[in-house]
Amino acid sequence: MSHRIVNALIICEDIWKVYRVGDVEVQALRGLHLTIRQGEFVAIMGSSGSGKSTLMNILGCLDQPTKGQYRLNSIDVGHLQPDRLAEIRNEQIGFVFQSFNLIPRTSALENAQLPLFYRGLPLKEQKSLASAALRRVGLGGREHHSPTQLSGGQQQRVAIARALVTSPSLLLADEPTGNLDTQSSQEIMEILEELNREGITVILVTHEIDIAAYASREIVIKDGQILSDRMTKGRSQVVEA
């Protein structure tokens, strides 16, 4: 068991997120501290309303904390303009959603191309990178299928291809198996595991224990704070703190 020194990818310090719903103040996150290193495979668990979605939105640079500091790859993301946040999402983060969120009536290849399209790469490069990403998730030969022609598991694999086409440093998967059967869930988790082995940091939000078991670290959120944070045996061999 070697202790490899890995750079911190995510540093959250005293993160607060406060919403105002009418006259009522809702504290979704209450002074949360969290450090995630590069190459980790983290499962975030918690009941609905625990604040885990809010945390995911902040980690994914879709939202900004009310108070506190969030540094991603040593960039202080807290006070950036929306366009700069869009750039960071494009360069650093890949999203995988529960409901796949593919663009309808658009081929798998074009869906996987999308982040590169906004990066402004030449079309040829977009296509070759996107089809490489599709091959990597085992969808070679299905580039021109539209989402409706693919099974749920295949659609989620297209979504993963779209997430990793930009070679992000962080992959955020929000209940990626929530809409899938056991067989497909297992396949998707194996792909995520494989990607993590190749060095991508994966953060997984789930409430299923057997899905969380794929991760090597398990964080439980409750009432906007971290209830428990423990290393599990996991299946990943890369990170051992």
Which CB, 22 or 104, lies closer to another protein?
104
Q: Shortest distance, CB of residue 17 to another protein, whole angstroms?
A: 12
Q: Shortest distance, CB of residue 90 to another protein, whole angstroms?
A: 3
Could you identify the residue written with the tokens 């694999």?
Answer: 157
Tell the burial category of 50 from Cβ atoms under 10 Å away from its Cβ (0-12, 13-18, 19+).
buried
C-alpha to C-alpha distance for 81 and 163, rounded to whole angstroms: 22
Which CB, 28 or 195, lies closer to another protein?
28
C-alpha to C-alpha distance for 208 and 211, rounded to whole angstroms: 5
Contact, 134 vs 89, CB < 8 A? no
Which CB, 118 or 141, lies closer to another protein?
118
Which CB, 65 or 115, lies closer to another protein?
115
Which CB, 131 or 216, lies closer to another protein?
131
Query: What's phi and psi for 16, nearest 5 deg?
Result: -120, 140
Which CB, 80 or 213, lies closer to another protein?
80
- Structure token digits, residue 7: 């750079």
For residue 112, give the nearest of 80, 156, 68, 79 by alpha carbon.
156
Which CA distances in Å does 128 have to 145, 149, 186?
A: 17, 22, 28
Which CB, 96 or 226, lies closer to another protein?
96
Q: Shortest distance, CB of residue 237 to another protein, whole angstroms?
A: 30
Q: Shortest distance, CB of residue 162 to another protein, whole angstroms?
A: 7
Which amino acid makes up residue 91?
A: E
C-alpha to C-alpha distance for 116 and 193, rounded to whole angstroms: 24
Contacts of 32 (CB under 8 A, 6+ apart): 12, 14, 15, 16, 51, 55, 68, 221, 224, 225, 226
Contact, 156 vs 188, CB < 8 A? yes
Q: Shortest distance, CB of residue 82 to another protein, whole angstroms?
A: 6
**Which residues of this chain interact with another protein, rule CB under 8 A?**
57, 60, 62-63, 82-83, 86-87, 89-91, 95, 97, 101-105, 114-115, 117-123, 162, 166
Q: Shortest distance, CB of residue 131 to another protein, whole angstroms?
A: 17
Q: Shortest distance, CB of residue 181 to another protein, whole angstroms?
A: 23
